[in-house]
Structure 1
Amino acid sequence: MQLAKSLALAAVLGLAQAGSTPAVKEQDSVPYAPIVVPLANRSPYLGAYLFGSEDKNLALMSPRFWTGTPLGWTGLLRVDGQVSSWMGNLTDWPACINSSLSTDSYSSTFVMTDDPPTVSLTATFLSPITPLDLFRQSLPFSYLQLSVASLDGKDHVVEAYSEINGLWLADDETEMLEWEGVEKDHWSGMRLRLQNQRIFEEENMREEHGNDRILHGDVWYASRSDAEEVETSYAAGDDVEETRRVFVDRGRLYNSLNETFRPTKTRQDDNQTAILDEPVFAISHSFGTVSPSSSAEDTTALITVGHLRTPLIQYKVAGPELVQVKPLWASTFKTAEELIDFFLSDFELVASLSKDWNAQMYADARRVESEEYGHTLAVSTRQIFAALEGLWDYDLDANSSLVTYSPITNEPIPTLFGLKEVSSNGNCQTVDVIAPFLPFLIYASPTLLPLLLEPIYRYSDSGLWKPIPPPHDLGDHWPNALGHDDYEGPTLPIEEAGNMLAMALAGMRRGDAAAREQAETYYHLLTQWADYLIDEALFPKEQSSTDDFYGPQKNQTGLVIKGIMGIRAMAEIALDFEEDKDYAHYKNASEVMTSTFLSLAISKDGTHLLGHYGNDSSWHGQYNLYFDQLFGTEMFPASVYEAQDSFYANVSLPFGPALDSAFPFRAKTDWLAWLGGIAVTNSTRTLFVDAVAKFFRQAKNDVQGDFIDPREGWSVGFRTRPVVGGHFSLLALDVMERLRKGTFQDDDEEVLIGGTSVAVGLLGLMLTVGVVYRWWSRRRRPSRKDVAYEELSRGDASPLLARAGSPSTPRMANDEEED
């Protein structure tokens, strides 16, 4: 296809999920409302949620940071001079009626009305999801769109108000703030920050349990309205009572700037419940007279909230020096004001792209499983990206293929992505946090995978890290990627070596050019890790894995499977690079190891794989078998899958099986989803998929964690972490299987359109050119000869493996590790 045709298609249809052929259908008519509702979720430090009660009444609940601590985000609605509260439980006014709530992968929409209903206020909290446009995905801002309408057929004068406070910066109310007002041609807003800036430091970071608030950077609250009928005004730094009173009395603010900088809250000395002063940062929109015939354009306003800081991290790449790395957005925008101007003007396009991706995701989820499975994926998606930050790799030794493209200049930008191990301990770039959400990367964003792995490869290859297996992480606490030159910290050598090898192969199999180039660059590391697994993985010494919350253990069978699959992944990588001797060596080693493993790991009664060699009462959720099916390597016989399938049903609790017999009342939703992906029977697959879906509707939960009690579905830790990308296990398997069969549509039109459509016009054409050019140029890069997948799956079975059983993994029957 000609490039011009590709560009035109991209402009009309947007950046949709590649390779999905079914026509997109609308979601079901029943709104989905998970027990934890994401509001603004774009980075580790920009996260607002509704936790708690089942009805999720925005008028009676206050948004909170992902840790559960309060955020000041409140709203008032004024209709014909009568005021009610629409967000944040403001008890001085009657609460609006929360008439509906619906969520999808990128937005949460509340419809509020006054009481009795005369006017509706639709509040849409939108955090864009653009997995194929990682520059846009990296922007640390979120939208709040407000729209009003007459319900009773009459005219009404309507105004809406919202405010934030200093709790968006730190939990400590005594922190001194400073702020400014900003007025531009098309938008106005406010910037607030802590007076005492502590770069690269989180609040209480040095304590055992910090509260994960960064003490560096600026919070922005800004708004635009394209309608002349909508008047926008703001107030920065006035006391909360005064600011609200002005709005209640006038329906608008004074565009005032109080320059007496003060703490977030000042409380009465002898009565700490009494607040004497609280500066707030408020925006009001006066919609004028709203009639039944008013257009949506004349009754809509847009707000953005964001958290910006630069530099983002300090990173040790080679030698003792630290490099301060700037955010990806700084490559294109010189100032925060330029970025905000772009972000507000980009709303229509990015909302369309997000809607398009969401529709395709639901269509694919229905095709492989169900509508409810689509809901599970939808509530998981924003959480994945809330742990990531885009890094401008401007002065490091960048791999030339590791780039994103500027939406302004269309020029390539050297890029990395950083990851904070949210909640569990704050580590930087944790290997066994990236690995669990590999299914999402395979399905939705294969270009993101090498951008996440590159910092790990660089540090492993720097000479600063001496052990042979890869490090567990790049630093004890984000945003300090200082490495572990002392070789201390978590050590999961088999776990991480197997993960890195499997992820390297996954990127290559998915067809990403950067992943292939990366694997070729670091081939020497990959072979070292595979050799380590040959030496150590069959009989693991006492060490940690992602499952042993009860302490290091010997001879964990889950680790052995991880090691086997890492070695086999190395064989496949070698084959792709025509390293025939390496291919034969690693393939033979993995097959011999598998045969020995099966002679040791099957229970005496033949019902299941043991959790530990020699302990016949032990068992384990063997989710690492997922790699065998993901790659189609058929390392383990059908009998193993069939036995495990039956066994899980026997040990399952209401929310699925536990992690293993040594930890009987803890499970993890990502591993449950991986096990669902490799289930043999529909009934067992449904057991796992439904367990995860049910958890997200569990009314008893106040938080959204991946670590649960399978008896009642309680969340028992690990809040809002990106590992929920593992819930995409079924879609990743579907993509990889269709790649092997050659039915994954990878011609020019399908890569661009993915079976969906969204008209974005000339603006879309201009903004999409860069991404399409990248795709077009990568398709024309020379690469080594690929080996047909059919040849891989036909490979001769060794006699040792044959003795263990048939190597053919069964299809569905019935109807035809995390620290």
Structure 2
Amino acid sequence: MQKRNIFCPLFLLVVSLLAFFSCSNSQELIESQTTELRAPAYPLITIDPYTSAWSESDNLYDSPVRHWTGKTHSLIGAIRVDGEVYRFLGQIDVPWVPVLPSANYESWEGQYTFSEPKEGWEKPGFNDKKWETGEGAFGTPEMPSLKTVWDTKDIWVRRTFDLPTDLPGGDIYLIYSHDDIFELYLNGTQLVATQYEWHNNVVLKIDRSLLNEGEANVIAAHCHNRTGGGYVDFGLFQESEKKDIFAQTAVQNKVALSATQTNYSFTCGPVDLKLQFVSPLLPDDLNLLSRPVNYINYQVNSNDGAKHDVQVYFETTPQWAVNEVSQEVEVSKGETGNIGFVKAGTTEQPVLQKKGDNVRIDWGYVYLAAKKTENTTLAIGDYFDSKATFIKNGTLEGPETMTAKMTKKMPAMVCIEKLGSVGQDASTGYVMIAYDDLESIQYFGNNLKAWWTENGTKTINDALQAASAEHDKVMKRCVDFDNGLWNETLAAGGKNYADLCVLAFRQSIAAHKLVKDTEGNILFLSKENFSNGSIGTVDVTYPSAPLFLKYNPDLLKGMLNPIFYYSESGKWAKPFAAHDVGTYPLANGQTYGGDMPVEECGNMVILTAAIAEMEGNADYAAKHWDVLTVWANYLLENGLDPENQLCTDDFAGHFAHNVNLSVKAIMGIASYGKMARMLGKEEMAEKYTSEAKSMAAKWVDMAKDGDHYRLTFDQPGTWSQKYNLVWDKLMNLGIFPPEVAETEIAYYLTKQNKYGLPLDNRRTYTKSDWIVWTATLAGDQETFEKFIDPVHQYVTDTPDRVPMSDWYETPDAKQVGFQARSVVGGYFIKLLE
């Protein structure tokens, strides 16, 4: 018998494996179908409401990377080519030098009163001895760096100071934060006067001649809090003498977006660089969606035919893990399996101790991680020295740990990849940004860990190893999902509509946190970003819902479950649905100051019916039938002509006889009837469906105003968007005559401004999500696009470089308020047709 030669196939296998591993770093990046548009801000790292970092400039290197609240979450990238360094990511955020520190540097003392003072209160010679003395910042509870609680409508503050005699020459800047209507004076000269708006860390260069050298100066401020949070903080600063070390930038050639990726391409002298920021927020894989790890993929190749010596530098800072930079942090190195990392967090670790809107996480740890190889360096260093060393040597060495207060010394967390001699064949790699929040949400007294931990059995080490091991597979899944979403949205609404959906996808999902309650039920809790910081807000869930109805209704159940539990447990005893379950991240019960009875009942019943429509059964509704019945009956009794109350557009204030709110009530009643029929409750189905049709007929008579329908039943000559009508079309309820929507759509086309359709006749501002809902009422594609195109133009023209705002002025595209909110998930409503 002839012997088998096992050496040859074994040899070939070994050679093949060696070839694979030596070339696996030379495969080109796989890319999704992308779209190029000028976004208000570009999503880079989007995990949850706390770990959410954005680029606010057209070129990636023209501004520091920032958290959605506006605070710097430094992320810097540079490439060293034959000893020449080009910065491609972020911008060095040179620290301000305080002349008169604001509260995020240190607390400060001022005089204040809640009673309107006499004339001249803003001038240096005013007698403020009868005013109270307190420390800044001043504001409502949970505001940042708060020292003195202010919970009345108005506050007047005076801060007297002497200029330091050794103050360097050069410009002086006022940096201030306020919420809401604000006026500020320097030595009696007014420098700031705002309308109903709120801003953080606004920088204003001041005329130095307004300051008195050698004698007392006074900054005086008045703030009126119309609703929600209130805040006052200010200080004087000069620019640091330190300069940008990575001064030379690459040349950006392109930025393009897909649902899960933001892709850039650069020329860096004789090499080209591609960069991908990837957030694997795949709705059909909850473990992956929850995993707190994002990728930064890179690809480098020569563009001149020659080979070049290349090192790539990525750097972040502990700013990602603090609420304020004045907090002390500890940075350390570590490893897990084949992954090395640098991590940072506060020394204090106040787990779930802070809640509020303009608040960042200051517990848990941020990670910069990469595969361990002989060409990978992970190091800790000084913010400026690390860059200087990389410029000089292309390497970095540092301590194993560092403890620092960032206002005095900013640590750098650095990963350097030595790519060696790079030619025309692509050299690729990736680093990972991760965040371990330890405990995510407090839910009615219980601290809950993130979904990905599988009830605490998985650690961040497991997550990092899994993210690395599955990198290539995850990338392929992201590309497949992105391409599918693009094709669907393009077919449904055209390119401008597809652009809006792509930009909305990560923003909407990352404004939530995914956890399980103690019984194992899914909870997908939103944060009401830059509106009031509520958690699990029903009238934020309602406009956000279409994205989740389309891609995974279980996530929408996770948004509704907290409200169902709140009522069914008896913790919320009112006969209508609650507005929220707390202030993020503490979900222990409603904290919003007012109720929205018809609004929230309608929202809950409609969305439960929408889930039934998407799933083809009413099983979820059956679990909550008793409380749904209570809410449906509330709508029957109170919904046709609502009393004076708020609706989801609460920024517009209370008003009675709201015609669009009445539509919501009628849709809620019809939705209940639909679910009853799906559950075989025919008599009940007939009752509620008939009642809804009867109410709709009355609505038509009460709301009709010639060629359109009114804003309120009692005010002729008014109008509003009736976006709540969309459910009659989407769920084929057959409640309102078709001519109602046709009449409204035709009228709206006469009321559009350059950047879209106003919300109603009272103001020129609008809500972009409602415009898309209204557009979906259109009977044809051409009319739909007439509403969408101005919204797209708003996104590409707005001067406000923040994560997309949904509340803006239609004449000039300026942001009114709100940013980074989940409600842009409502853009996906057209796909529900």
Task: Determine if the TM-score, normalized by the shorter chain, exceeds 0.5.
Answer: yes
2:378 counterpart of 1:234: yes
Name the structure 2 match of 1:567.
Answer: 669
Name the structure 2 match of 1:250.
Answer: 393
Q: What do the CA deviations read for 1:450-479 (whole angstroms, capped 9, x no partner)?
A: 12211111111011111011101001x111
Name the structure 2 match of 1:388.
Answer: 512
1:355-754, aligned counterparts within 5 Å?
355-393=479-517, 395-396=518-519, 398=520, 414-475=521-582, 477-484=583-590, 489-511=593-615, 516-603=618-705, 605=706, 607-662=707-762, 664-703=763-802, 704-733=804-833
2:215 counterpart of 1:68: no
Q: Give the aligned residue type for 1:309.
A: D
Name the structure 2 match of 1:771.
Answer: none
Counterparts of 1:363 and 1:32, CA distance in 2: 17
Contact 1:623 1:674 in 2 (8 A): yes
Contact 1:446 1:512 in 2 (8 A): no
Distance apart, 1:610 and its partner CA: 0.5
Stretch deviating more after TM superposition (586-595 or 487-496): 487-496
Q: What do the CA deviations read for 1:335-371 (whole angstroms, capped 9, x no partner)?
A: 2111111112222122211111111111112222212
Q: What do the CA deviations read for 1:519-563 (whole angstroms, capped 9, x no partner)?
A: 111101111100000000012110000124232111000110000
Equivalent residue of 1:688, what SS? helix
Q: What do the CA deviations read for 1:221-251 (whole angstroms, capped 9, x no partner)?
A: 11127xx7x7110112x21222222222221
1:277-292, aligned counterparts within 5 Å?
277-292=409-424
Q: What do the CA deviations read for 1:412-450 (whole angstroms, capped 9, x no partner)?
A: xx5322221122111110111111022212222222111
Name the structure 2 match of 1:186.
Answer: 338
Contact 2:332 2:344 in 1 (8 A): yes
Evaluate the alpha carbon distance shift between residue 29 and residue 326 of structure 1 in structure 2; reply closer, same or farther with a 3 A threshold.
Answer: closer
Evaluate the alpha carbon distance shift between residue 148 and residue 687 of structure 1 in structure 2; reply closer, same or farther with a 3 A threshold.
Answer: same
Q: What do the CA deviations read for 1:484-511 (whole angstroms, capped 9, x no partner)?
A: 3xx9633111011111111101111101
Contact 2:32 2:482 in 1 (8 A): no
Evaluate the alpha carbon distance shift between residue 101 and residue 380 of structure 1 in structure 2; reply closer, same or farther with a 3 A threshold.
Answer: same
Query: Larger Rg: 1 or 2?
Result: 2
1:326-337, aligned counterparts within 5 Å?
326-331=449-454, 333-337=457-461
Q: Which structure would you say has the larger RCO, counting Cα contacts within 8 Å and 6 or more residues apart?
A: 1
Equivalent residue of 2:294, what SS? strand
Q: Give the aligned residue type for 1:280.
A: A
Going by fraction, where is helix more abundant, 1 or 2?
1
Name the structure 2 match of 1:803.
Answer: none
Contact 1:669 1:692 in 2 (8 A): yes
Name the structure 2 match of 1:7.
Answer: none
Contact 2:34 2:256 in 1 (8 A): no
Name the structure 1 match of 2:61.
Answer: 59
Counterpart of 2:360 (choices 213, 217, 220) is: 213
Aligned length: 649
Counterparts of 1:323 and 1:89, CA distance in 2: 41
Equivalent residue of 2:76, what SS? strand
Name the structure 2 match of 1:165.
Answer: 317
Equivalent residue of 1:190, what SS? strand
Contact 2:323 2:359 in 1 (8 A): no
Q: Give the aligned residue type for 2:447.
A: Q
Q: What do the CA deviations read for 1:167-218 (whole angstroms, capped 9, x no partner)?
A: 1122522210012211234221111101112222337x4xxxx522022211
Q: What do the CA deviations read for 1:739-767 (whole angstroms, capped 9, x no partner)?
A: xxxxxxxxxxxxxxxxxxxxxxxxxxxxx
Counterpart of 1:37 (choices 20, 42, 50) is: 42
Counterparts of 1:190 and 1:231, CA distance in 2: 16
Contact 2:534 2:592 in 1 (8 A): no
Name the structure 1 match of 2:250.
Answer: 96
Q: What do the CA deviations read for 1:279-307 (whole angstroms, capped 9, x no partner)?
A: 11111000011122x3x4xx222111122
1:751-790, aligned counterparts within 5 Å?
none
Equivalent residue of 1:262, what SS? strand
Q: Give the aligned residue type for 1:440.
A: L
Evaluate the alpha carbon distance shift between residue 323 and residue 699 of structure 1 in structure 2; reply closer, same or farther with a 3 A threshold.
Answer: closer
Contact 1:656 1:687 in 2 (8 A): no
Q: What do the CA deviations read for 1:57-81 (whole angstroms, capped 9, x no partner)?
A: 1222221111122221112210111
Distance apart, 1:28 and its partner CA: 7.6
Name the structure 1 match of 2:8.
Answer: none
Counterparts of 2:815 and 2:473, CA distance in 1: 36
Equivalent residue of 1:202, what SS? coil
Contact 2:526 2:822 in 1 (8 A): no
Q: Give the aligned residue type for 1:190.
A: V
Q: Give the aligned residue type for 1:338.
A: D
Equivalent residue of 1:248, what SS? helix
Q: What do the CA deviations read for 1:111-133 (whole angstroms, capped 9, x no partner)?
A: 1222xx30112121111131111
Q: Give the aligned residue type for 2:371.
A: R
Equivalent residue of 1:261, what SS? strand
Q: Give the aligned residue type for 1:120.
A: D
Counterparts of 1:541 and 1:340, CA distance in 2: 53
Identity %: 27
Q: Give the aligned residue type for 2:75.
A: W
Counterparts of 2:358 and 2:809, CA distance in 1: 24
Runs of 4+ in 1 over 4 A off after TM superposition: 26-30
Contact 2:807 2:816 in 1 (8 A): yes
Contact 2:493 2:781 in 1 (8 A): no
Name the structure 1 match of 2:273.
Answer: 121
Q: Give the aligned residue type for 1:381.
A: F
Name the structure 1 match of 2:154.
Answer: none
Counterparts of 1:633 and 1:517, CA distance in 2: 19
Counterparts of 2:692 and 2:784, CA distance in 1: 28
Equivalent residue of 2:37, what SS? coil
Counterparts of 1:110 and 1:683, CA distance in 2: 33
Q: What do the CA deviations read for 1:59-112 (whole angstroms, capped 9, x no partner)?
A: 222211111222211122101111122222353331111122111111111112
Contact 1:556 1:611 in 2 (8 A): yes
Equivalent residue of 1:178, what SS? strand
Counterpart of 2:478 (choices 354, 373, 390) is: 354
Name the structure 2 match of 1:306.
Answer: 434
Equivalent residue of 2:467, what SS? helix
Distance apart, 1:621 and its partner CA: 0.5
Name the structure 1 match of 2:443.
Answer: 315
Name the structure 1 match of 2:326.
Answer: 174
Contact 2:612 2:620 in 1 (8 A): no
